[in-house]
Chains A and B, each alone.
Chain A
Amino acid sequence: MMSAMAIETGRNPTLLEVEHLTMRFGGLVAIDDVSFSAKDREITAIIGPNGAGKTTVFNCLTGFYKPSVGRLALSHPRKGEFLLERMEGFTIPQKADVARTFQNVRLFPAMSVLENLIIAQHNKLMRASGFTIGGLLGLGTYRRAERDAVDLAKYWLDRMGLTDRADNEAGSLPYGDQRKLEIARAMCMQPVLLCLDEPAAGLNPRESEDLNQQLLYIRDEHKIGILLIEHDMSVVMTISDHIVVLDYGRKISDGSPEQVRNDPTVIRAYLGEEEDGELPPDVEQDLIDDARRQET
């Protein structure tokens, strides 16, 4: 399956084009001239050590920060091109259909699981309710729209295995389920680009395996692009079609998982000690020397 996917890679149209993205906070340069692109129907992972600026990239993409410099072009398959850096925060998810999740889960804890998923469809329902007036009068259009919204929510609840908890408070779910619910909520917006900020953080190996399957399913069945920040290499290396590596706000590598895995810069910056036997020659020599010195 993986190889079939790899062949297909490259034929998909570009979904997101990030050019010369720079973000400064006063004197601190959090992202320094980063360019990369993400293709439609592919999983693009952004990896890098802590503080590399991954989440900042996300915040720029989803309108929480205004980039200092750069162009963020999203080619929406149905609505044409959007320049995200020019859009006001909440209009990016609203008009350009970019959904995101957060590093520390952000649900609406006192509201039910189902309500969380219905709120994700706010703009659609708002239009259907005639901006509240039609809804107040109890018009049929709104009732139909709400039924459809519940159906969509049901679909994602089934998908994530949360149907039994639909009427529970979101805050009462176990952590792993909260993560799943956040992804379900983002998907209820019917996005063209799904940005996931460390979805596997805090999940056990079985849960992250489950997450892998979910993400592949979303990519293949819903045919959308996924942008993924992740530290868990078992997730990144298994499901990514394309990996971008950041370090200290700069892009240090960009390519397929194979390429990135073998890129000496990446190994030095990030994966170094994890890859047994694949250490850069100078590091390996150092280690051997150390061992010898201790023996004598």
Chain B
Amino acid sequence: MATAMGERKGIDFIGIVKEAAITAFVVFVLALPISGLRTTAEIGGLGVHARWDKVAMYMAIAFVGRIIWSLFLETRGRHRRESSESSIGKHVQKYAHFVGPALIVFAVVLPFMPFADRYILDVSIMVLTYVMLGWGLNIVVGLAGLLDLGYVAFYAVGAYSYALLALNFDLSFWVCLPMAGMFAATFGMILGFPVLRLRGDYLAIVTLGFGEMIRIILINWYSLTKGPDGLSGVPRPSFFGLPFERNPGEGVESFHGFFGIDYSSVHRIIFLYYLILILALITNAFTMRIRKLPVGRAWEALREDETACLSLGINPRNTKLTAFALGAMFGGFAGSFFATRQGFISPESFTFIESAIILMVVVLGGQGSQIGVVLAAVVIIGVPELFRELQEYRMLVFGAAMVLIMIWRPKGLLAFREPTLRLFEVKKSGLFGRKQASEAAE
């Protein structure tokens, strides 16, 4: 059946078989040393044992898989897929005004869902932390177009600011939070100044170095940061002064005592969940708003063409510095949340891979796309977490997913830019819009 259909469309079968044979050969070359030869312990030393059956199996899979893939491509046509590229993003963005609220409602009721156990909540908190970090980095990378590979430095500054302030001065989370943000923003400016003249790759390298510098300082400044030992006993958050402990000690009322409910360790998790949800939503609201202000537009203009910006009298120094500082500030907020959630921080948590993951969230989501960042954070953080049972294979799946996303959606999952203001009202999309449009047509 499939053959008949194929022939009618004039598919080059010999070519496909040839291609499949080449693929099988490549698999043979790869599989022979990797899984074809196995070392076994024999009496008197190490022996090599050939497993031809496995190699043959892999080759067969590759051969058949390649044929199926070629047929799939032939019937579907490459060009059609590429043209749909931006339209999906456009489509989702069109419905953004109820996809967004729907997601928020879902996020708000999630802790009360029957399936939401502690594990789900923990994963959700992780995802939300990365959503927030992604939104923060989106200001720098997505809007201002400054490739920052050291974003984790601000995350670290925020975390250590909170931990040190809380441990040394006994300040509460709500006092430390803005201070941590401010410290991180200051560091953003400090980083911003020397890199103002750099663009593209050079900027990326310097920010990468800055990220590592902060980590190395944290390791070596033993008297302040306890170096690689890390800071433990970072105060856990309290519900406006009501701690989430079973026995909070003499004269202190606990959360469950105050509300007269049974003690449960999930209370704290739920509180942390809402805390990061609110912080993330603030980040989002801020970004959405500032995008429509002159400074936000100037960021985007700077990303598009710096020379043209100069000719329009836009101060590139100040504009870039605000982007760095504000992006860093949200990184700092997320950092202090991280510290209070973990209760323990060490430089280990702020390695380059964290920066890379945050950047991945932004890039895969589609630079500048707020909903894209959410989607990417769910894919990047949530999926490997959910497949934890698969153990070492989950990183393999993760890598494969990355490659596939880059092939199919090189501009990110939802790459679509909505203008910050319009001269003509677009007809409101979605159900109501459709109805109105059809009424007007009648």
Contact = CB atoms under 8 A, between A and B. Distances in A.
B310 A90 contact: yes
Interface string B299-311: 0110011011111
A103 B314 CA distance: 20
Contacts of A175: none
Interface string B402-431: 000000000000000101111110100000
B289 to A, nearest CB: 6
Contacts of A112: 419, 422
Interface stretch (B130-138, B290-298, B376-384): B290-298
A208 interface: no
A112 B312 CA distance: 17
A150 B425 CA distance: 14
Given A108-B304, A135-B293, A114 B422 contact: yes
Interface centre among B300, B420, B421 (most CB of A within 10 A): B421
Contacts, number: 118
Contact of A122 (B290, B304, B312, B421): B312
B315 A94 contact: yes
A100 B289 CA distance: 30
Interface in A148-199: 150, 153-154, 157, 163, 166-167, 185-186, 189
B227 interface: no
Interface string B34-62: 00000000000000000000000000000
A124 B419 CA distance: 20
A16 interface: no
Contacts of B294: 122, 125-126, 129, 132, 135
B313 A119 contact: no
B316 interface: yes
A118 B297 CA distance: 9
B292 to A, nearest CB: 8
Interface string A115-146: 10011101101100101100110000010001
B313 A91 contact: yes
Interface centre among A92, A95, A118, A157 (most CB of B within 10 A): A118
Contacts of A44: none
A167 B293 contact: no
A131 B315 CA distance: 13
A107 B422 contact: no
A5 interface: no
B57 to A, nearest CB: 48
B308 to A, nearest CB: 4
A119 B289 CA distance: 16
Interface string B16-32: 00000000000000000
B313 A111 contact: no
A114 to B, nearest CB: 5
Given A63-B310, A136-B293, A122 B298 contact: yes
B330 to A, nearest CB: 14
A167 B422 CA distance: 6
Contact of A115 (B297, B305, B307, B310): B297
Contacts of A189: 312-313
A110 interface: yes
Nearest to B314: A122
Interface string B273-289: 00000000000001001
A80 B293 CA distance: 31
Interface string A189-229: 10000000000000000000000000000000000000000
A93 interface: yes
A108 B300 CA distance: 8
A112 B423 CA distance: 10
A133 B300 CA distance: 19
29 contacts: A63-B310, A90-B313, A90-B316, A91-B313, A93-B310, A95-B313, A102-B308, A102-B311, A106-B305, A106-B308, A106-B311, A108-B304, A109-B304, A110-B300, A111-B300, A111-B301, A111-B419, A112-B419, A115-B300, A115-B419, A115-B420, A118-B421, A119-B314, A122-B313, A122-B314, A136-B290, A142-B293, A163-B423, A166-B423
Interface of B: 286, 289-290, 293-295, 297-298, 300-301, 304-305, 307-316, 322, 417, 419-424, 426
